[in-house]
């Protein structure tokens, strides 16, 4: 019985051993280099019980139990029959009520056989043995050495690539780096998707950004879950098999991934994150177009390998057009994921062919430019056996030649600049906001856009080879200085000159900037900013042009306006750095309007010629105040056609971007129906033609030039408030809505602004072509008022506040630089006294062109030579009642300048003898002190005693060094005058 009991107990014990053991908590010791799993560790069963278990399938378990009970019943009956035959007592024996012993023996045999087969696939884990060879010190050190070896190899490859001296060598090392990274450092596809989403997220906005955020979060969560159960992930090796004692459901329950949990459990989730919006459809259409273009491009490139001659050139042109079309489509939408936001543009692809004995050697040259639209740009040129190879090499090289350029106000360059490379000259100057890119070529425009510029003007002279152009462009961009650079260089406060308003081309000097050491659009406090001067030449004794140019430089005046293309003045301005507006007299308008060829001849003779000599001509002034009411419409029909023909001739001469044609108009072309500037509009009788002119100026980016004279307002109206003509405030201010006008200049200027705005030309800039105050010839024309007005205007300009209706800097030309004693006095005697300098270049009054706080006053002309100190005066013995005196004085004043003789003028204090002497001396000095010019029928005499007094100066004319050409005409005039004045009356008397 004991043996039978032992026999029966043994199967039961073995059956119990097959039951799943209870979970006993135990501490699992991970090896030193094991990576912590992304979920909590679970209790691990003892190594003794680490054997295969029964299936947990409930259906299969029920069937096994039923079969087991049936077989147990049969076995029980067979055992009872055997005991009866042997005559054993059944009640005293411990029976096997279930009869499972035979079944257990069969199951044990089957399980042993299965375990023998499964052992060949079983791999030991760190939980089965404390002495795992994989985590032994030797194995750990071996893996560390292998990892360090890979890092060292990668560093060596990068160093060899950086030190490569030739393009082929660099390409070889780059290929090795790519293969090494693909083999050892290749990221899973999921990481690439996440990177793609993050790059797209940087440029997206609104609803698209929200959807991308949801997709990115979902991708990151899915990646975390996948990494937790990825058997190929080294972090999970030895962890999944030994630490995961439960199902994935248990892990997900504590991970907080509801959607992922449903996915693991087999739920069929709907893809609700796919939003087929209109933007996505547009992207799909764009991708289709890009793919079609890429396909065509590949076909053309393949054909190009076997096409030569004229057909080859045609194919090259088609390839360029396809590349331009692709660049246009990818301008806003497509951004390369590689190189972190940089975009790459194809500048040029060139094919060369060399014929040898062995055949033709064909090579391709590719020129590419790259940029991130935020000031970082680069370019590269590379060669290859095929166009694809050349472009790929250039693509890699262009990121090794990156430059950072400063962008002024994030849209343009800080100042005008000139650069030269080989036979290519490039000129850049800033453009106003929203003016767009006016580039001289596709190469310049592409590179500037890649750098992030949006408002830059440019001009190319000479070779337009793409490589030369792009190198000159990089030289120019790298040479640009910011206000901070200039301030650090000179150690002074920097004042900005014109904050890039419309017509900025007229304010930026860029022809003579090649060797400048001071940024031209910036000026120190001691210099003039934004002020030019009118240089007239209607004088009997002109200062030498070189002396005048030096006087302009000494006073910091960097712009000058000429009324005619006078050869001497333009020749002296060559390479001076002074910007020039050259004028066309009104009497030439009819001829220029009638024939385009006449305009082309004039431009060739008076503009192109001097520009080639180094004169910085910026504008051509077509006429001068042609619509004055006193002209009675003489030039109404010829002014606009002449303007159009001159501009067309400038474009034909290749100067369209550098030189612009404008019309200096008087302020009488517009007016206000009330006293308020906001009611301004153009004069009714010329309204239509003015709109045509303004439209032409606007279309060509040319400023509106207007001459404003507050003095004329005071001269024409005796009741005009005097203080309103100046800039020191007035009790007669005009209130126009929310704007207040305390001086007539601002009111006049804003009347023009209102007229432009009313007719739809809000963005047309304005140049004040003439503004000033005379010093003699009228009661209100004196040095005190002139100094008060001009200094106030200078302070007004330098403040940078502009006018109430148009804020910003004012571009203006003072009228005028020097007095002219041969100007017409039809408007008034004051016409000959507008200059801030006298006839001899001496300052008339103290004027600080840099502002009231500036220490610099006017600098006069240097090294001036005068005629002898002698004057022609009335003889003291002559009777003032002599009948010949009136005729002599009339003749003298008719041929000389007597405009200082008048009511409340500088010489109004002279007595009768003084007035006569002044007239005689003016004629005498004008004729270079010729003794015959002091005859006057014996009424005059020459004296060496100066007859001047404290207010009236008897001038001595300057000795013109080049006087031969002038002295002969003057003597001819003198001879003719004496003949008419003496001989003709004598002959008439005889007759």
Q: Which residues are catalytic?
A: 625, 770
SS3 content of the chain, % helix, strand, coil (to 5): 45, 15, 40
CA dist 798 and 807 (Å) reads: 13
**628 close to 677: Cβ distance less than 8 angstroms:** no
Closest CA to 952 of 893, 896, 895, 911: 911
Contacts (Cβ under 8 Å, ≥6 apart) of 515 = none
Indicate the helix (H) or strand (E) that contains 320: helix 309-329
CA dist 741 and 733 (Å) reads: 5
Closest CA to 900 of 791, 772, 783, 726: 783
For the record, the structure tokens of 651 come out as 């474009």
The angle at the Cα of 797, spanning 792 to 803, to the nearest 5 degrees, equals 100
Q: Which residues pair with 359 in a beta bridge?
A: 356
- Exposure b/e, 729-741, CB count within 10 A at least 16 = b: ebeeebebeebeb
- Exposure b/e, 566-604, CB count within 10 A at least 16 = b: beebbebbbebbbbbbbbbebebbbebbeebebbbebbe
CA dist 959 and 840 (Å) reads: 10
**867 close to 929: Cβ distance less than 8 angstroms:** yes
β-pairing, 739-741 with 734-736? antiparallel
Side-chain half-sphere exposure of 659, counting CA atoms within 13 A: 32
CA dist 428 and 414 (Å) reads: 10
Q: Which residues pair with 915 in a beta bridge?
A: none
CA dist 913 and 499 (Å) reads: 57
**582 close to 570: Cβ distance less than 8 angstroms:** yes
**440 close to 459: Cβ distance less than 8 angstroms:** yes
Q: What is the 3-state secondary structure (H, E, C) of 79-144?
A: HHHHHHHHCCCCCCCCCCCCCCHHHHHHHHHHHHHHHHHHCCCCCCCCCCCCCCHHHCHHHHHHHH
Q: Which residues pair with 735 in a beta bridge?
A: 740
End-to-end CA distance of the chain: 189
Q: Which residues pair with 661 in a beta bridge?
A: 620
Q: Is the peptide bond before 734 cis (omega within 30 degrees of 0)?
A: no
Helix or strand or coil: residue 664? Answer: strand
Helix or strand or coil: residue 378? Answer: strand
Q: Name the burial class of residue 886, with classes exposed (0-12), middle (13-18) and buried (19+) by CB atoms within 10 angstroms of its CB.
A: exposed
CA dist 793 and 710 (Å) reads: 11
Helix or strand or coil: residue 366? Answer: strand
Torsion over CA: 389, 390, 391, 393 (sign) = positive
**724 close to 732: Cβ distance less than 8 angstroms:** yes
**721 close to 747: Cβ distance less than 8 angstroms:** no
β-pairing, 494-496 with 739-741? unpaired
Closest CA to 214 of 199, 201, 196, 227: 201
For the record, the structure tokens of 863 come out as 């090294």
Using only C-alpha atoms, what is the Rg of the chain? 49
Q: Name the burial class of residue 163, with classes exposed (0-12), middle (13-18) and buried (19+) by CB atoms within 10 angstroms of its CB.
A: exposed
């Amino acid at each position: 019985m004991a043996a039978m009991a032992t026999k029966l107990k043994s199967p039961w014990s073995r059956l119990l051993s097959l039951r799943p053991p209870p979970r006993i908590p135990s501490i699992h010791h991970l090896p030193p280099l094991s990576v912590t799993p992304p979920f909590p560790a679970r209790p691990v069963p003892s190594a003794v019980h680490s054997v295969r278990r029964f299936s947990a399938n409930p259906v299969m378990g029920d069937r096994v139990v039923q079969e087991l009970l049936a077989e147990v019943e049969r076995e029980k009956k067979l055992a009872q029959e055997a005991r009866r035959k042997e005559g054993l007592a059944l009640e005293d024996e411990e029976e096997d009520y279930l009869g499972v012993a035979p079944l257990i023996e069969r199951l044990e045999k089957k399980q042993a056989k299965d375990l023998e087969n499964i052992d060949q696939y079983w791999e030991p884990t760190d939980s089965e043995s404390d002495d795992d060879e994989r985590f032994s010190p030797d194995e750990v050190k071996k893996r560390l050495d292998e990892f360090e070896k890979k890092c060292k190899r990668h560093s060596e490859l990068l160093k060899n690539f950086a030190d490569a001296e030739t393009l082929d060598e660099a390409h070889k090392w780059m290929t090795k780096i790519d293969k090494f990274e693909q083999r050892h450092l290749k990221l899973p596809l999921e990481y690439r998707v996440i990177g793609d989403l993050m790059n797209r997220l940087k440029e997206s906005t609104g609803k698209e950004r929200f959807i991308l955020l949801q997709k990115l979060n979902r991708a990151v969560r899915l990646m975390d879950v996948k990494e937790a159960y990825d058997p190929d992930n080294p972090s999970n090796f030895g962890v999944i098999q030994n630490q995961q004692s439960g199902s994935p459901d248990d892990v997900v329950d504590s991970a907080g991934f509801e959607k992922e949990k449903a996915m693991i459990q087999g739920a069929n989730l709907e893809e609700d994150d796919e939003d087929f919006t209109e933007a996505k459809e547009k992207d799909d259409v764009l991708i289709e177009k890009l793919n079609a273009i890429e396909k065509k491009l590949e076909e053309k490139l393949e054909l190009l390998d076997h096409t030569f001659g004229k057909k080859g050139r045609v194919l090259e042109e088609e390839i360029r057009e396809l590349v331009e079309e692709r660049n246009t489509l990818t301008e806003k939408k497509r951004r390369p994921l590689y190189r972190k936001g940089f975009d790459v543009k194809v500048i040029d692809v060139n094919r060369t062919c060399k014929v040898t004995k062995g055949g033709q050697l064909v090579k391709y040259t590719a020129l590419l430019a790259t940029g991130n639209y935020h000031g970082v740009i680069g370019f590269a040129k590379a060669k290859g056996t095929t166009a694809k190879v050349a472009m790929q090499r250039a693509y890699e090289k262009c990121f090794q030649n990156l430059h950072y350029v400063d962008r002024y106000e994030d849209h343009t360059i800080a100042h005008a600049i000139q650069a030269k490379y080989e036979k290519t000259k490039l000129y850049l100057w800033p453009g106003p906001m929203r003016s767009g890119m006016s580039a001289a070529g596709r190469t310049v425009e592409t590179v500037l856009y890649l750098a992030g510029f949006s408002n830059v003007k440019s001009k190319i002279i000479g070779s337009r080879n793409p490589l030369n152009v792009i190198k000159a462009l990089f030289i120019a961009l790298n040479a640009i200085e910011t206000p901070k650079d200039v301030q650090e260089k000179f150690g002074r406060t920097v004042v900005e000159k014109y904050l890039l308003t419309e017509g900025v081309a007229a304010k930026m000097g860029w022809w003579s900037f090649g060797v400048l050491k001071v940024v031209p659009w910036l000026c120190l406090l001691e210099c003039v900013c934004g002020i030019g001067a009118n240089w007239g030449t209607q004088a009997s004794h002109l200062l030498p042009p070189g002396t005048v140019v030096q006087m302009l430089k000494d006073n910091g005046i960097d712009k000058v306006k000429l009324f005619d293309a006078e050869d001497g003045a333009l020749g002296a301005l060559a390479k001076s750095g002074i910007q020039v507006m050259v004028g066309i007299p009104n009497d030439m308008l009819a001829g220029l309007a009638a024939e385009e060829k006449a305009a082309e001849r004039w431009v060739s003779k008076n503009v192109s010629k001097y520009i080639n000599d180094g004169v910085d001509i910026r504008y051509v002034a077509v006429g001068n105040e042609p619509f004055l009411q006193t002209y009675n419409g003489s030039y109404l029909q010829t002014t606009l056609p002449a303007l159009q023909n001159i501009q067309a001739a400038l474009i034909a001469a290749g100067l369209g971007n550098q030189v612009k044609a404008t019309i200096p108009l008087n302020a009488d072309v517009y007016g206000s129906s009330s006293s308020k500037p906001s009611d301004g509009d153009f004069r009714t009788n010329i309204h239509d033609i003015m709109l045509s002119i303004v439209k032409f100026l606007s279309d060509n980016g040319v400023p509106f030039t207007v001459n404003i004279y507050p003095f004329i307002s005071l001269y024409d109206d005796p009741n005009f408030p005097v203080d309103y003509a100046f800039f020191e405030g007035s009790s007669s201010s005009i209130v126009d809505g929310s704007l207040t006008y305390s001086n007539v200049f601002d009111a006049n200027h804003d009347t023009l602004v209102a007229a432009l705005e009313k007719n739809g030309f809000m963005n047309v800039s304005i140049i004040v072509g003439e503004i000033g105050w005379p010093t003699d010839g009228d009661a209100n024309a004196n040095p005190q008022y002139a100094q008060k007005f001009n200094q106030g205007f200078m302070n007004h300009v330098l403040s940078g506040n502009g006018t109430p209706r148009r804020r910003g800097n004012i571009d203006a030309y003072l009228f005028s630089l020097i007095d002219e004693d041969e100007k017409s006095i039809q408007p008034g005697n004051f016409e000959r006294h507008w200059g801030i300098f006298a006839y001899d270049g001496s300052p008339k009054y103290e004027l600080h062109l840099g502002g009231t706080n500036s220490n610099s006053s006017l600098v006069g002309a240097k090294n001036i030579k005068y005629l002898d100190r002698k004057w022609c005066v009335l003889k003291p013995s002559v009777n003032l009642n002599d009948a010949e005196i009136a005729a002599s004085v009339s003749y003298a004043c008719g041929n000389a300048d007597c405009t200082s003789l008048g009511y409340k003028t500088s010489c109004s204090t002279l007595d009768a003898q003084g007035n006569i002497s002044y007239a005689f001396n003016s004629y005498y000095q004008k004729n270079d002190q010729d003794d015959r010019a002091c005859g006057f029928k014996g009424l005059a005499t020459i004296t060496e005693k100066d007859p001047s007094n404290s207010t009236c100066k008897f001038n001595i004319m300057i000795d013109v060094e080049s006087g031969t050409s002038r002295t002969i005409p003057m003597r001819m005039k003198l001879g003719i005058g004496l003949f008419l004045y003496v001989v003709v009356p004598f002959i008439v008397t005889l007759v």
